[in-house]
Amino acid sequence: MAERTTEQGPAELGNVVALRDVSVRRFTTDQVILDGVDWTVRPGEHWALLGANGAGKTTLLRLLGALMHPTTGTVEVLGGRLGRIDVRELRARLGHVTSAQRVPQDLSAHTVVLTGHSGTVQPLWKTYDDEVRQRAHELLAELGIKELAERPYGVCSGGQRARVLIARALMAEPALLLLDEPFNALDLPSREDLVEAMHRLAEGRPRLATVTVTHHLEELSPAVSHALLLREGRILARGPVAEVLTGPWLTACFGRPIAVNRHEGRWWAYSAPRG
Protein backbone atom coordinates (compact mmCIF):
# COMPACT_ATOMS: atom_id res chain seq x y z
CA MET A 1 0.00 0.00 0.00
CA ALA A 2 1.33 3.40 -0.96
CA GLU A 3 2.16 5.90 1.74
CA ARG A 4 -0.56 8.42 2.48
CA THR A 5 0.47 11.97 3.31
CA THR A 6 -1.43 15.21 3.59
CA GLU A 7 1.53 17.41 4.52
CA GLN A 8 2.38 20.45 2.45
CA GLY A 9 5.60 21.10 0.57
CA PRO A 10 9.02 21.74 2.13
CA ALA A 11 9.56 22.85 5.69
CA GLU A 12 9.00 26.50 6.32
CA LEU A 13 10.35 28.75 9.03
CA GLY A 14 8.63 28.27 12.36
CA ASN A 15 8.10 24.50 12.25
CA VAL A 16 8.45 22.76 15.58
CA VAL A 17 9.83 19.60 13.94
CA ALA A 18 11.10 18.95 10.42
CA LEU A 19 12.49 15.52 9.44
CA ARG A 20 13.79 15.00 5.94
CA ASP A 21 14.69 11.55 4.54
CA VAL A 22 15.66 10.34 8.00
CA SER A 23 16.98 6.83 8.47
CA VAL A 24 18.38 5.07 11.52
CA ARG A 25 20.46 1.92 11.18
CA ARG A 26 21.85 -0.23 13.98
CA PHE A 27 25.50 -0.60 13.06
CA THR A 28 26.09 -3.78 15.08
CA THR A 29 23.42 -5.75 13.20
CA ASP A 30 22.87 -3.54 10.12
CA GLN A 31 19.18 -3.49 11.06
CA VAL A 32 17.17 -0.59 9.62
CA ILE A 33 15.09 0.94 12.43
CA LEU A 34 13.71 3.93 10.49
CA ASP A 35 13.77 4.30 6.73
CA GLY A 36 13.22 7.48 4.70
CA VAL A 37 11.06 9.36 7.21
CA ASP A 38 9.74 12.79 6.19
CA TRP A 39 7.60 14.56 8.76
CA THR A 40 6.68 18.08 9.84
CA VAL A 41 5.06 19.17 13.10
CA ARG A 42 3.76 22.72 13.34
CA PRO A 43 2.87 24.86 16.37
CA GLY A 44 -0.43 23.90 17.94
CA GLU A 45 -0.59 20.46 16.31
CA HIS A 46 -1.20 17.40 18.48
CA TRP A 47 0.06 14.17 16.97
CA ALA A 48 -0.64 10.56 17.88
CA LEU A 49 2.17 8.17 16.94
CA LEU A 50 0.98 4.60 16.45
CA GLY A 51 2.39 1.32 15.18
CA ALA A 52 3.03 -2.25 16.22
CA ASN A 53 5.83 -3.08 18.65
CA GLY A 54 9.15 -2.71 16.85
CA ALA A 55 7.78 -0.29 14.26
CA GLY A 56 10.22 2.45 15.28
CA LYS A 57 8.04 4.68 17.50
CA THR A 58 10.49 4.93 20.39
CA THR A 59 13.41 5.62 18.05
CA LEU A 60 11.44 8.38 16.34
CA LEU A 61 10.58 9.95 19.69
CA ARG A 62 14.23 9.77 20.76
CA LEU A 63 15.20 11.73 17.64
CA LEU A 64 12.65 14.42 18.48
CA GLY A 65 13.97 14.53 22.03
CA ALA A 66 17.58 15.01 20.82
CA LEU A 67 18.55 11.79 22.57
CA MET A 68 20.11 10.31 19.44
CA HIS A 69 21.14 11.31 15.92
CA PRO A 70 19.95 9.88 12.60
CA THR A 71 22.22 7.71 10.50
CA THR A 72 21.23 9.71 7.41
CA GLY A 73 18.92 12.63 6.72
CA THR A 74 18.25 15.80 8.73
CA VAL A 75 16.34 16.34 11.97
CA GLU A 76 15.41 19.90 12.94
CA VAL A 77 13.73 20.50 16.30
CA LEU A 78 12.72 23.99 17.46
CA GLY A 79 14.83 25.50 14.68
CA GLY A 80 18.02 23.62 15.56
CA ARG A 81 19.50 20.86 13.41
CA LEU A 82 20.88 17.82 15.19
CA GLY A 83 24.62 17.71 14.63
CA ARG A 84 24.87 21.52 14.50
CA ILE A 85 23.34 22.49 17.84
CA ASP A 86 24.26 21.84 21.45
CA VAL A 87 21.76 19.10 22.29
CA ARG A 88 21.93 19.98 25.98
CA GLU A 89 20.50 23.41 25.23
CA LEU A 90 17.86 21.89 22.96
CA ARG A 91 16.76 19.31 25.51
CA ALA A 92 16.29 22.10 28.06
CA ARG A 93 13.64 23.58 25.75
CA LEU A 94 11.71 20.33 25.29
CA GLY A 95 9.21 18.58 27.52
CA HIS A 96 9.75 14.81 27.59
CA VAL A 97 7.54 12.53 29.67
CA THR A 98 8.04 8.79 30.09
CA SER A 99 7.01 6.39 32.81
CA ALA A 100 10.65 5.27 32.92
CA GLN A 101 11.76 8.63 34.35
CA ARG A 102 13.68 8.29 37.62
CA VAL A 103 11.85 10.13 40.38
CA PRO A 104 12.67 9.82 44.11
CA GLN A 105 9.56 8.33 45.65
CA ASP A 106 9.74 10.40 48.83
CA LEU A 107 9.64 13.80 47.11
CA SER A 108 6.36 15.69 47.27
CA ALA A 109 4.50 16.25 44.00
CA HIS A 110 5.32 19.97 44.22
CA THR A 111 9.03 19.23 44.62
CA VAL A 112 8.98 16.84 41.66
CA VAL A 113 7.54 19.64 39.53
CA LEU A 114 10.20 22.04 40.84
CA THR A 115 12.96 19.72 39.57
CA GLY A 116 11.70 20.44 36.06
CA HIS A 117 13.04 23.98 36.48
CA SER A 118 16.56 22.77 37.20
CA GLY A 119 16.39 19.69 34.96
CA THR A 120 17.63 17.47 37.77
CA VAL A 121 16.46 14.33 39.53
CA GLN A 122 17.08 15.72 43.01
CA PRO A 123 15.93 19.25 43.90
CA LEU A 124 18.41 22.12 43.78
CA TRP A 125 16.74 24.28 46.41
CA LYS A 126 18.88 27.39 45.90
CA THR A 127 17.64 27.72 42.32
CA TYR A 128 13.94 27.91 43.24
CA ASP A 129 12.79 31.40 44.17
CA ASP A 130 9.24 32.30 45.17
CA GLU A 131 8.20 32.86 41.56
CA VAL A 132 9.42 29.40 40.52
CA ARG A 133 7.69 27.75 43.47
CA GLN A 134 4.44 29.54 42.65
CA ARG A 135 4.70 28.45 39.03
CA ALA A 136 4.98 24.82 40.14
CA HIS A 137 1.75 25.23 42.13
CA GLU A 138 0.03 26.79 39.11
CA LEU A 139 1.06 23.87 36.89
CA LEU A 140 -0.31 21.36 39.39
CA ALA A 141 -3.58 23.31 39.29
CA GLU A 142 -3.53 23.39 35.49
CA LEU A 143 -3.26 19.59 35.44
CA GLY A 144 -6.07 19.29 37.97
CA ILE A 145 -3.99 17.96 40.87
CA LYS A 146 -3.27 20.98 43.07
CA GLU A 147 -4.43 19.01 46.12
CA LEU A 148 -1.46 16.65 45.66
CA ALA A 149 1.17 19.33 46.23
CA GLU A 150 2.43 17.90 49.52
CA ARG A 151 1.69 14.23 48.81
CA PRO A 152 4.74 11.99 48.34
CA TYR A 153 5.14 11.02 44.69
CA GLY A 154 5.51 7.37 45.67
CA VAL A 155 1.98 7.12 47.07
CA CYS A 156 0.31 8.88 44.14
CA SER A 157 -1.71 6.73 41.75
CA GLY A 158 -0.42 5.97 38.26
CA GLY A 159 -2.63 8.62 36.70
CA GLN A 160 -1.63 11.19 39.27
CA ARG A 161 2.04 10.44 38.67
CA ALA A 162 1.57 10.92 34.93
CA ARG A 163 0.05 14.36 35.49
CA VAL A 164 2.82 15.31 37.96
CA LEU A 165 5.42 14.39 35.33
CA ILE A 166 3.62 16.45 32.68
CA ALA A 167 3.55 19.43 35.05
CA ARG A 168 7.26 18.89 35.65
CA ALA A 169 7.93 18.90 31.89
CA LEU A 170 5.98 22.15 31.49
CA MET A 171 8.27 24.02 33.91
CA ALA A 172 10.60 24.64 30.96
CA GLU A 173 7.76 26.30 28.97
CA PRO A 174 8.42 23.94 26.07
CA ALA A 175 7.10 24.49 22.56
CA LEU A 176 7.09 20.71 22.10
CA LEU A 177 5.86 18.11 24.59
CA LEU A 178 6.81 14.47 23.94
CA LEU A 179 4.75 11.82 25.69
CA ASP A 180 6.00 8.23 25.57
CA GLU A 181 3.05 5.99 26.46
CA PRO A 182 1.81 8.22 29.29
CA PHE A 183 -1.25 5.99 29.77
CA ASN A 184 0.78 2.84 30.41
CA ALA A 185 -0.87 0.61 33.06
CA LEU A 186 -3.56 3.17 34.00
CA ASP A 187 -7.01 1.99 35.06
CA LEU A 188 -10.11 3.43 33.41
CA PRO A 189 -10.75 6.36 35.81
CA SER A 190 -7.06 7.36 35.74
CA ARG A 191 -7.01 7.16 31.96
CA GLU A 192 -10.04 9.40 31.67
CA ASP A 193 -8.60 11.91 34.14
CA LEU A 194 -5.44 12.12 32.03
CA VAL A 195 -7.39 12.41 28.77
CA GLU A 196 -9.35 15.34 30.24
CA ALA A 197 -6.17 16.96 31.52
CA MET A 198 -4.51 16.70 28.09
CA HIS A 199 -7.59 18.20 26.45
CA ARG A 200 -7.58 21.18 28.84
CA LEU A 201 -3.85 21.61 28.33
CA ALA A 202 -4.26 21.82 24.56
CA GLU A 203 -7.10 24.30 24.84
CA GLY A 204 -5.16 26.52 27.25
CA ARG A 205 -1.89 26.48 25.26
CA PRO A 206 -2.77 27.07 21.60
CA ARG A 207 0.90 27.17 20.43
CA LEU A 208 2.03 24.03 22.22
CA ALA A 209 2.71 21.02 19.98
CA THR A 210 2.53 17.48 21.34
CA VAL A 211 3.53 14.04 20.11
CA THR A 212 2.04 11.09 22.00
CA VAL A 213 3.10 7.49 21.54
CA THR A 214 0.20 5.19 22.29
CA HIS A 215 -1.12 1.71 21.49
CA HIS A 216 -4.79 2.50 22.03
CA LEU A 217 -7.05 4.96 20.21
CA GLU A 218 -9.19 5.20 23.36
CA GLU A 219 -6.34 7.14 24.97
CA LEU A 220 -6.52 10.01 22.50
CA SER A 221 -8.13 13.23 23.66
CA PRO A 222 -10.43 15.21 21.33
CA ALA A 223 -7.56 17.70 21.00
CA VAL A 224 -5.44 15.25 18.98
CA SER A 225 -5.41 16.72 15.49
CA HIS A 226 -3.01 14.51 13.52
CA ALA A 227 -1.78 10.94 13.44
CA LEU A 228 1.25 9.15 12.06
CA LEU A 229 1.26 5.40 11.46
CA LEU A 230 4.57 3.53 11.37
CA ARG A 231 5.05 0.06 9.95
CA GLU A 232 8.45 -1.63 9.94
CA GLY A 233 10.29 1.66 10.21
CA ARG A 234 8.50 3.45 7.39
CA ILE A 235 5.65 5.95 7.46
CA LEU A 236 2.51 4.26 6.25
CA ALA A 237 0.16 7.21 6.69
CA ARG A 238 0.19 10.66 8.26
CA GLY A 239 -2.11 13.65 8.37
CA PRO A 240 -5.36 14.80 10.02
CA VAL A 241 -6.83 12.16 12.33
CA ALA A 242 -10.07 11.84 10.37
CA GLU A 243 -8.11 10.78 7.30
CA VAL A 244 -5.56 8.52 8.99
CA LEU A 245 -7.39 6.79 11.87
CA THR A 246 -9.59 4.68 9.64
CA GLY A 247 -10.22 0.95 9.49
CA PRO A 248 -8.29 0.41 6.24
CA TRP A 249 -5.20 2.33 7.39
CA LEU A 250 -5.09 0.68 10.83
CA THR A 251 -5.67 -2.70 9.21
CA ALA A 252 -2.65 -2.06 6.98
CA CYS A 253 -0.63 -0.81 9.94
CA PHE A 254 -1.28 -3.69 12.33
CA GLY A 255 -1.76 -6.52 9.85
CA ARG A 256 -5.22 -7.65 10.93
CA PRO A 257 -8.77 -6.38 10.31
CA ILE A 258 -9.42 -3.32 12.47
CA ALA A 259 -12.72 -1.47 12.81
CA VAL A 260 -12.66 2.12 14.02
CA ASN A 261 -15.39 4.30 15.51
CA ARG A 262 -15.52 7.88 16.71
CA HIS A 263 -18.06 9.62 18.92
CA GLU A 264 -17.91 13.16 20.32
CA GLY A 265 -14.22 13.43 19.52
CA ARG A 266 -13.23 10.13 21.16
CA TRP A 267 -12.00 7.06 19.30
CA TRP A 268 -12.15 3.35 19.83
CA ALA A 269 -10.91 0.42 17.76
CA TYR A 270 -11.33 -3.33 17.84
CA SER A 271 -10.33 -6.30 15.74
CA ALA A 272 -13.08 -6.97 13.22
CA PRO A 273 -14.02 -10.56 12.34
CA ARG A 274 -11.85 -12.07 9.61
CA GLY A 275 -13.35 -13.16 6.36
Q: Is residue 32 part of a domain?
A: yes
List pLDDT tens digits, range 65-106. Answer: 999 999 999 999 999 999 998 888 888 889 999 877 889 999
Q: What is the mean pLDDT of residues 182-196?
A: 91
Whether pLDDT at 26 is above 90:
no
Domain count across the chain: 2
Distance CA 22, CA 38 (A): 7
Range of the domain at 120: 103-173
Taking the model in full, what pTM does it have?
0.90
DSSP state of 10: S
- What's the CA angle centered on 97, arms 124 and 104, to 5 degrees? 40
Are 168 and 216 part of one and the same domain? no
- On whether both 86 and 131 belong to a single domain, the answer is no
Torsion on CA atoms 146, 151, 152, 155, rounded to nearest 10: -100
186 and 244 in a single domain? The answer is yes
Closest to 40 (Cα-Cα) out of 65, 19, 67, 70: 19
Q: Are residues 75 and 179 in the same domain?
A: yes
Task: Identify whether the C-beta of residue 266 lies closer than 8 Å to the C-beta of residue 220.
Answer: yes
pLDDT value at 7 more than 50: no
For residue 219, the 8-state DSSP code is: G
pLDDT (tens digit per residue) in 130-168:
999 999 999 999 999 999 999 999 999 989 999 999 999
- Tell me: do 203 and 261 sit in the same domain: yes
89 and 201 share one domain: yes
Residue 273 has a pLDDT of 75
CB 181 within 8 A of CB 214: yes
Cα–Cα distance, 208 to 206 (Å, whole number):
6
Residue 192 in this model has a pLDDT that exceeds 50: yes
Range list of H helices, 82-223:
87-91, 109-118, 130-142, 158-170, 188-204
Q: Which pLDDT score is estimated for 30?
A: 78
pLDDT 10s digits, 119-135: 888 999 999 999 999 99
Last residue of one domain, picked from the residues 173, 192, 220: 173
pLDDT at 1 over 50: no
Residue 85 shares a structural domain with residue 179: yes
pLDDT of the residue at 275:
60
Helix (H, G, I), strand (E, B) or coil at 95: strand
Could you tell me whether strands 94-98 and 176-180 are parallel, antiparallel, or unpaired per DSSP bridges?
parallel
- 26 and 41 both lie in a single domain: yes
What pLDDT is stored for residue 213 in this prediction? 95
Tell me which of 36-50, 90-104, 117-131, 183-197 is least confident.
90-104
pLDDT of residue 63 exceeding 90: yes
Report whether pLDDT(6) > 90. no
Residue 7 lies in a domain: no
Question: Looking at the structure, do residues 234 and 202 belong to the same domain, yes or no?
Answer: yes
Nearest-angstrom CA–CA distance, 78 and 58? 19
188 and 86 in a single domain? The answer is yes
Q: Are residues 159 and 27 in the same domain?
A: no
Q: What share of the chain is helix, strand, coil (3-state, %, to 5)?
A: 35, 30, 40
